[in-house]
Chain A
């Protein structure tokens, strides 16, 4: 296990370096001068030139990259050109927001996705199965941002039930925090619920066909016990793995969801930064997400190995 982890971590290093080069190159290729982008109406050439010098935007590219990555290794991702705040502080500030959104979305997805997947598998081929499948596919097919707009229109504008935007930290006012977050979490959760449902279903189908479920049935155990205790427990391995892997999808989904519900999280930060040409912020965020994403992948593999003893023996 430890050998496995070390190997995976070593492989991750060149990948992360590659991402850093990629992200850096992409940002430098963006048209529009970040200093000018910030200037807005007021464009004093002398000040603009001073700022370009100050942020080393006139240096050769390779030197810019080396100083950036050198700082990044030491935990310094630079400062936002727009507000002077350190990028790392910004990320630290936004992380809890997006995590709360992601966790709530994941809970909603699990609560909807897993039971429907189980029932659907158990009643394979029935009308329920077919219907659940169709609903799940619909969940996958609805554009998140459109669902968000429609919910704002109905729930907030027409009925005035829930706030249309904003964020209240959980620690400040838990109830209000959940009230503001429930609609976006639902929007983000629907697509995930569908993915989870489909994975649960196929995992359950595999397990239900297996020998030991047949044995359990033969022993005369009740269907409830067979399905929940024997089948579901075994199907959990792939479900847990998929859930970990959904992290990436959650982050991408959060980008648009946060934009629509004006939630000050990661996603909004990165989109605004792209539009403001706030290089340091974009680079920092993409690098951090990539690292987190790779970490989640390794974690998923590790969990898979722990839960699934057969894998341990291989290799």
Chain B
């Protein structure tokens, strides 16, 4: 049994080489730094020496950036920097959790479709196609409206809307892995379905899914911001970059900084995930080694 595993194991790329390629890629590094920076801020939010994100000050309503408030204050005198920092938590959480939801539902369905073929595949594929045909944002808006506006519901809505892509990817990858010799041999030896999926399929479809997941986190963060911007995501007074923008658009003339910072933050963190995802793709690409 051990011998079999050894001889039939797919030619996986040594992890160190992937890592080396990633490190040699300045764009990917920049991405990692951006993602790391915002993650750090989000995690450290409770201990940073900042005013509370919901602390109001009637005497300082919509004040421009200054020594007292580095990024200014908002429409009811809250510190924008503090809200930005706490907003990072909401945004990153929204990105990661919704992708996790998409993966948790998408991978089993995709693998099942690609592995079992036949009717299972037909049903799952038609369903996926139907979901893919409804525009992503419209679907998310309708779902978020249906579930009721809140951050967690926005995550569910985004996760469900992003799910079909993963089904499709997992299915395609599974089907291509299935044609490989080592799966054939595993079958020939009489290995159970679950064992084959667990040992041979999942590890091999993982890299492209990881790349797609990283890139989808970027999309999900923008989607959360969009939903919050429409009033369907994070609910006040809790901060999120999207809901901050939603309010800020009413004060564009009087307090442009309120709209400036959240937008820049979304841009940077999304750019970070995109750079990182691209880097991962390049590093995992067997073609140009």
Judging by beta carbons under 8 Å apart, are A251 and B133 in contact?
A: no
B278 within 8 A of A: yes
State which size class the interface on A falls in.
Answer: 35 or more
Given the known inter-chain contacts A29-B146, A30-B145, A256-B226, please indicate yes or no for A141 contacting B267, CB distance below 8 A. yes
Judging by beta carbons under 8 Å apart, are B229 and A145 in contact?
A: yes
Judging by beta carbons under 8 Å apart, are A286 and B138 in contact?
A: yes
Interface-centre pick from B145, B218, B275 (highest chain A CB count, 10 A): B145
A293 within 8 A of B: yes
C-alpha gap A213/B156 in the complex (Å) = 49
Residues 202-228 of chain A, each 1 if its beta carbon lies under 8 Å from chain B, else 0: 000000000000000000000000000
Given the known inter-chain contacts A22-B130, A149-B259, please indicate yes or no for A255 contacting B146, CB distance below 8 A. no
Judging by beta carbons under 8 Å apart, are A143 and B133 in contact?
A: no
| CB-nearest residue of chain B to A22 | B130
Pick from B27, B133, B268, B274: contact of A19, CB under 8 Å: B133
Judging by beta carbons under 8 Å apart, are B126 and A15 in contact?
A: yes
B236 within 8 A of A: no
C-alpha gap A294/B274 in the complex (Å) = 28
Judging by beta carbons under 8 Å apart, are A248 and B271 in contact?
A: no
A161 within 8 A of B: no
Q: Which chain B residues lie closer than 8 Å to A141 at the CB level?
A: 218, 267-268, 270-271, 274
Given the known inter-chain contacts A149-B259, A256-B137, please indicate yes or no for A282 contacting B275, CB distance below 8 A. no
Residues 253-289 of chain B, each 1 if its beta carbon lies under 8 Å from chain A, else 0: 1001001101100111011001100100000000000
Pick from B26, B226, B252: contact of A153, CB under 8 Å: B252
A157 within 8 A of B: yes
A50 within 8 A of B: no
A75 within 8 A of B: no
Interface of chain A residues 121 through 141 with chain B (CB within 8 A): 130, 133-134, 137-138, 140-141
B207 within 8 A of A: no
Interface of chain B residues 135 through 167 with chain A (CB within 8 A): 135-138, 141-143, 145-146, 148
A275 within 8 A of B: yes
State which size class the interface on B falls in.
Answer: 35 or more
Given the known inter-chain contacts A29-B146, A143-B225, A146-B245, please indicate yes or no for A255 contacting B267, CB distance below 8 A. no
Q: Which chain B residues lie closer than 8 Å to A275 at the CB level?
A: 145
C-alpha gap A16/B27 in the complex (Å) = 42
Judging by beta carbons under 8 Å apart, are A252 and B138 in contact?
A: yes
Q: Which chain A residues lie closer than 8 Å to B262 at the CB level?
A: 146
Judging by beta carbons under 8 Å apart, are B126 and A153 in contact?
A: no
C-alpha gap A133/B275 in the complex (Å) = 10
Q: Which chain A residues lie closer than 8 Å to B252 at the CB level?
A: 149, 152-153, 157
Given the known inter-chain contacts A14-B126, A256-B226, A274-B142, please indicate yes or no for A146 contacting B135, CB distance below 8 A. no
C-alpha gap A132/B262 in the complex (Å) = 25
C-alpha gap A27/B143 in the complex (Å) = 9
B129 within 8 A of A: yes
B40 within 8 A of A: no
Given the known inter-chain contacts A15-B129, A153-B252, A259-B230, please indicate yes or no for A137 contacting B142, CB distance below 8 A. no
A90 within 8 A of B: no
| CB-nearest residue of chain B to A145 | B229
Judging by beta carbons under 8 Å apart, are A153 and B138 in contact?
A: no
Pick from B135, B145, B218: contact of A293, CB under 8 Å: B135
A109 within 8 A of B: no
Given the known inter-chain contacts A133-B27, A137-B275, A141-B271, please indicate yes or no for A146 contacting B134, CB distance below 8 A. no
Residues 245-263 of chain A, each 1 if its beta carbon lies under 8 Å from chain B, else 0: 0001001110110010000
C-alpha gap A282/B141 in the complex (Å) = 11
| CB-nearest residue of chain A to B278 | A137
Given the known inter-chain contacts A22-B130, A31-B146, please indicate yes or no for A137 contacting B271, CB distance below 8 A. yes
Judging by beta carbons under 8 Å apart, are A15 and B256 in contact?
A: no
Judging by beta carbons under 8 Å apart, are B275 and A143 in contact?
A: no
A271 within 8 A of B: yes
C-alpha gap A144/B225 in the complex (Å) = 10
With both chains docked as a complex, state the minimum distance between the C-beta of B167 and any C-beta of chain A, in angstroms: 14
B127 within 8 A of A: yes
With both chains docked as a complex, state the minimum distance between the C-beta of B64 and any C-beta of chain A, in angstroms: 15
| CB-nearest residue of chain B to A294 | B133
Judging by beta carbons under 8 Å apart, are B259 and A150 in contact?
A: yes
With both chains docked as a complex, state the minimum distance between the C-beta of A208 and any C-beta of chain B, in angstroms: 14
With both chains docked as a complex, state the minimum distance between the C-beta of A148 and any C-beta of chain B, in angstroms: 10
B201 within 8 A of A: no
| CB-nearest residue of chain A to B136 | A252
**Contacts A141-B270, A289-B138 known; 14 new A-B pairs at CB < 8 A:** A18-B127, A22-B130, A138-B271, A143-B266, A146-B263, A147-B263, A149-B248, A149-B252, A150-B260, A252-B136, A252-B138, A253-B137, A256-B229, A256-B230
Interface residues of A, Cβ cutoff 8 Å to B? 11, 14-16, 18-19, 22-23, 26-27, 29-31, 130, 133-134, 137-138, 140-147, 149-150, 152-153, 157, 248, 251-253, 255-256, 259, 270-271, 274-275, 282, 285-286, 289-291, 293-294
- Top-5 shortest CB links A-B: A146-B263, A141-B271, A290-B133, A18-B130, A141-B270
Name 16 interchain pairs, CB-CB below 8 A, sorted by A: A15-B130, A18-B126, A26-B146, A137-B27, A137-B278, A140-B270, A140-B274, A143-B263, A145-B225, A149-B249, A150-B263, A153-B253, A255-B135, A289-B133, A289-B134, A291-B133
